[in-house]
């Protein structure tokens, strides 16, 4: 710390000079709470996000696809664990984070409250949902909080496989029978708008965005990220020969971007408030798995205690 500098001054200097804030640094209480909330929500999303895809592991069409899907779902578990560890550097306990998820005080991304109805949904999720996640997470590698940024670097290295395997599923279906191609189109129809919703409300309606941008937790606005995602994805859909379900989607040569239609914000807020098609089942399943696994955690703790005593 510079001579005579207060914690607050030092924090502001770190942010201004684009240096990372580390766990032992003084930080404003608001910064800490915002980060705990955001990192925890991110961690919970990775964990709950295993369910829609896990749903198809036993029904993957080939052994190759099954091995790939298991690896992807295992990665998402890993992402959840990196992120819980990052949140814990802010002083919050793992038990507390899990309790907040289970009680509903902490939310997770709405996207995981939609059902996976066909195998093509697994393709659409990898391509669109992981694609949207990458757009967001690449930005977060530059987040001002060191442990979060480092977790993001690790995660981004793994996400690219997720998106590519999803696109490959879509490509295989699109090159298959007319029925298979229709399956892919149907999945795109159902996942397109929820994927765009992942970027959150418009910048003008996003109350906390400004503070997060000032703290450099967040470095690109919701609308800019969403535009990036649309611009990146439209040509990929064209390559697949699929139609994006938006009549207003059109290249705008003046802006150098695609114009696109308005999100159904009523649906958006309905799902955020916990009334998504799968909201209740996802959380109930998570709580049940936690409770049914209690004996494993207790047995492991008892085993460790016994061996500690023997060693003493």
Partner 1 sequence: MTYEVPRTADEKDLDYRQDGRSQWPMWEVFVRQKRGLSHVHAGSLHAPDADTALQMARDVYTRRVEGISIWVVRSDQVVASDPDEADAFFEAAAKPYRQATYYRIPDEVGQM
Q: Which residues bind Fe ion (CB under 5 A)?
A: 46, 76, 79, 130, 159, 162
Instruction: Identify the DSSP state of 107.
Output: -
Q: Which of 88, 121, 159, 278 binds partner 1 (CB under 8 A)?
A: 88
Q: Which of 21, 27, 45, 52 binds partner 1 (CB under 8 A)?
A: 45
CA distance 53 to 49: 7
H helices present in 21-118, as ranges: 29-48, 50-54, 63-88, 94-103
What number of residues does the chain have? 312
DSSP SS3 for 208 = coil
Q: Write out the DSSP string of 232-261.
A: HHHHHHHHHT---S-TT-EEETTTTEEE--
Q: Which does 218 bind (CB under 5 to 8 A by kind): Fe ion, partner 1, none?
A: partner 1
Smallest distance, partner 1 to C-beta of residue 133, A? 5
Nearer to partner 1, 85 or 172 (CB): 85
Site string for partner 1, 166-205 (x = CB under 8 A): --------------------------------xxxx----
Q: Which does 96 bind (CB under 5 to 8 A by kind): partner 1, Fe ion, none?
A: partner 1
Smallest distance, Fe ion to C-beta of residue 36, A? 19
Residue 235 sits in the site that holds partner 1 (CB under 8 A): no
Structural contact between residues 100 and 180, judged by C-beta atoms closer than 8 angstroms: no
Residue 293 sits in the site that holds partner 1 (CB under 8 A): no
Residue 100 sits in the site that holds partner 1 (CB under 8 A): yes
Residue 225 sits in the site that holds partner 1 (CB under 8 A): yes
CA distance 217 to 145: 7
Instruction: Identify the DSSP state of 21.
Output: B
Q: Which does 2 bind (CB under 5 to 8 A by kind): Fe ion, partner 1, none?
A: partner 1
Q: Which of 21, 50, 73, 92 binds partner 1 (CB under 8 A)?
A: 92
284: enclosing H helix or E strand:
helix 279-292
Nearer to Fe ion, 79 or 286 (CB): 79
Structural contact between residues 41 and 34, judged by C-beta atoms closer than 8 angstroms: no
Residue 279 sits in the site that holds partner 1 (CB under 8 A): no
| Distance in angstroms between the alpha carbons of the first and the last residue of the chain | 42
Secondary structure in 3-state letters for 113-174: HCCCCCHHHHHHHHHHHHHHHHHHHHHHCCCCEHHHHHHHHHHHHHHHHHHHHHHHHHHHHH
Q: Which does 130 bind (CB under 5 to 8 A by kind): Fe ion, partner 1, none?
A: Fe ion
Residues that bind partner 1 (CB under 8 A): 1-3, 22, 24-25, 33, 36-38, 41-42, 45-46, 71, 74-75, 78, 81-82, 85, 88, 91-96, 100, 105-110, 132-133, 135-137, 139, 151, 154, 158, 198-201, 206-208, 218, 222, 225, 269, 272-273, 297, 300-301, 303-304, 307-308
């Amino acid at each position: 710390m510079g001579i005579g500098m207060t914690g607050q001054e030092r924090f502001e200097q770190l942010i201004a000079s684009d240096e990372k804030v580390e766990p032992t640094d003084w930080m404003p209480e608001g910064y800490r709470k915002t980060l705990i909330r955001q990192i925890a929500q991110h961690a919970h999303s990775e964990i709950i996000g295993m369910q829609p895809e896990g749903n198809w592991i036993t029904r993957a069409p080939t052994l190759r696809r099954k091995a790939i899907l298991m690896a992807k779902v295992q990665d998402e578990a890993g992402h959840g664990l990196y992120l819980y560890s990052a949140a814990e550097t802010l002083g919050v306990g793992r038990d507390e984070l899990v309790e907040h998820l289970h009680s509903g005080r902490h939310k997770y991304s709405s996207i995981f409250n939609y059902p996976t109805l066909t195998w093509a949904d697994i393709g659409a999720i990898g391509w669109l949902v992981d694609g949207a996640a990458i757009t967001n997470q690449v930005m977060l590698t530059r987040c001002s909080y060191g442990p979060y940024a480092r977790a993001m670097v690790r995660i981004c290295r793994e996400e690219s496989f997720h998106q590519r395997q999803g696109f490959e599923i879509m490509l295989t279906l699109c090159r298959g029978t007319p029925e298979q191609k229709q399956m892919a189109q149907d999945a795109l129809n159902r996942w397109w708008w929820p994927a765009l919703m992942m970027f959150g409300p418009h910048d003008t309606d996003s109350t906390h965005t400004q503070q997060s941008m000032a703290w450099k937790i967040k470095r690109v606005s919701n609308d800019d990220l969403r535009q990036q995602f649309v611009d990146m994805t439209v040509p990929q859909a064209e390559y697949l020969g699929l139609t994006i379900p938006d009549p207003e989607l059109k290249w705008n040569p003046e802006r150098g971007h695609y114009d696109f239609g308005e999100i159904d914000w009523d649906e958006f807020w309905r799902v955020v408030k916990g009334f998504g098609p799968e909201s209740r089942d996802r959380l109930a399943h998570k709580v049940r798995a936690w409770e049914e696994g209690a004996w494993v955690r207790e047995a492991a703790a008892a085993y460790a205690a016994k061996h500690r005593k023997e060693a003493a």
